[in-house]
Amino acid sequence: MGELDLIQEIRRGSGRPGGAVKLGIGDDCAILRLPAGHEVLVTTDFSLEGRHFRRDLHPAESIGHRCLARGLSDLAAMGAKPMGAFLSLALPREMLSTARGRRWVEGFFRGLRELADRSGAPLAGGDTAESPAGLVLADITLVGSAPTGKALRRSGAKAGDLLYCTGRLGGAAAELETMFARGRMARALPEKDHPQLFPEPRLAVGTGLLRRGLATACLDLSDGLSTDLAHLCDESGVGAEVEEALLPLHPLAAQLGAERALHAALNGGEDYELLFSAPPDVRMPKALAGVPITRIGKLVRKSQGITLRRTDGRSEPLTSGGWEHFAAAKRI
């Protein structure tokens, strides 16, 4: 497999132009069609070996899936629909010259493509290079659309709003813990119920919240509830009270015991669930697009800070202790 083969592999992922992609790979830029009355949303996310994944622990399919999921989750958080994905991918030389390397690359694209097809996010372009450091280096850009002026933001929450999250929390960190403990790569597994290996971006929940006008503020839980809630509070100028008893723990987290489960739910990160607020008089459905919605607390005045009410009734400050699995990495 030479570089041309790699590019062919990427082209396979891109499919034929259609939908929002008017012109895909092969020119200096891709061309995307924006639906009338919509505006353009853009997000970029690194997936760097040794920072965001480990090649000895994450199967290739998982790494491809997670790379795309990071960007899709940012679109979901704003209620946007994907138009196209752009992948910059640097690979170690041996991946282009050995059968084992070729299998890895095929697995990576299988994982990425499966999620891309299912999410309506065709690969529309990118860049390739030989990695300068023997490490797999990926950067994904997602371009999406939302009705003009309607995108969900971090900044619209008000004191008195209720606080909700989707799905279950702490599963990604709990599964990672079992991967570390086992110390070797998980076999390629079916994609259900693997919150670390195959997180599911909540695109249909995001567009549902936007269409039905349910949320006053929203973001995705990539860094962990404690860190991401602080972002929502900062941007909205509010405080928050989270109730431990209400947190929907992922079964994998619950197995860790109460304190470690709580830590995973608050600080684990990478769950890629949505965290959002809504006025108290909104009748929130129990589920959206098949994903459970759980009230986990409320927003309060900024001066009251961000607190966690424990199950014994005590309140304690909830400080940011988010995602640092491999080393510091920060979204801007």
Residues 75 to 104 in contact with a second copy, rule: CB under 8 A: 75, 77-78, 80, 83-84, 86-88, 90
- Pick from 25, 185, 188, 291 the residue near a second copy by CB under 8 A: 25
Tell me, by CB under 8 A, how many residues bind a second copy: 74
What is the residue whose two structure tokens read 């200096």? Answer: 28
- Contact by Cβ (8 Å): 278, 215: yes
Tokens of 117: 């097809």
CA 331 to centroid of chain Cα atoms: 12
Question: Do 166 and 284 form a contact (C-beta atoms < 8 A)?
Answer: no
Q: For a second copy, which is the closer residue by CB, 40 or 189? A: 40
Q: How far is the CB of 152 from a second copy (least distance, A)?
A: 9
Which one-letter amino acid corresponds to residue 66? R
Shortest Cβ distance from residue 240 to a second copy (Å)? 18
Cα gap 71→194, rounded to integer Å: 18
Cα separation, 100 vs 203, whole angstroms:
34
Closest distance to a second copy from the beta carbon of 130 (Å): 5
Does 16 sit near a second copy (CB under 8 A)? no
165-to-169, 249, 292, 303 alpha-carbon distances in Å: 9, 11, 8, 23
Q: DSSP code of 8?
A: H
Q: Which class for 277: exposed (0-12), middle (13-18), buried (19 or more C-beta within 10 A)?
A: buried
**Contacting residue, 186, 287, 291, 329, with a second copy by CB under 8 A:** 329
Q: At residue 97, what is the residue type?
A: S
Nearer to a second copy, 1 or 308 (CB): 1
| In the complex, minimum distance from the CB of residue 77 to a second copy, in angstroms, rounded to a whole number | 4
Q: How far is the CB of 238 from a second copy (least distance, A)?
A: 16
Pick out residues in 48-77 that bind a second copy (CB under 8 A): 48-52, 73-75, 77
**Using the rule CB under 8 A, is 316 a contact of a second copy?**
no
Amino acid identity for residue 270 in this structure: E
User: Are the beta carbons of 208 and 76 closer than 8 angstroms?
Assistant: no
**Smallest gap, in angstroms, from Cβ of residue 315 to a second copy?**
28
Q: Residue 82 corresponds to which tokens in the numbers above?
A: 């994907």
Within 218-247, which residues bind a second copy (CB under 8 A)? 219-220, 235
Question: Is 174 an interacting residue with respect to a second copy (CB under 8 A)?
Answer: no
135 near a second copy, judged by CB under 8 A: yes
What's the full length of the chain, in residues? 332
Q: How far is the CB of 10 from a second copy (least distance, A)?
A: 6
The nearer residue to a second copy, 119 or 307, going by C-beta atoms, is 119
* Residue from the set 92, 144, 195, 199 that interacts with a second copy by CB under 8 A: 144
Q: Which of 105, 151, 165, 318 binds a second copy (CB under 8 A)?
A: 151
Give the amino acid at 201: P
**CB of 219 or CB of 262, closer to a second copy:** 219
x/- site string to a second copy, residues 246 to 265, per CB under 8 A?
--------------------
CA 297 to chain centre: 22
The residue within the footprint of a second copy, chosen from 16, 18, 29, 259 (CB under 8 A), is: 29
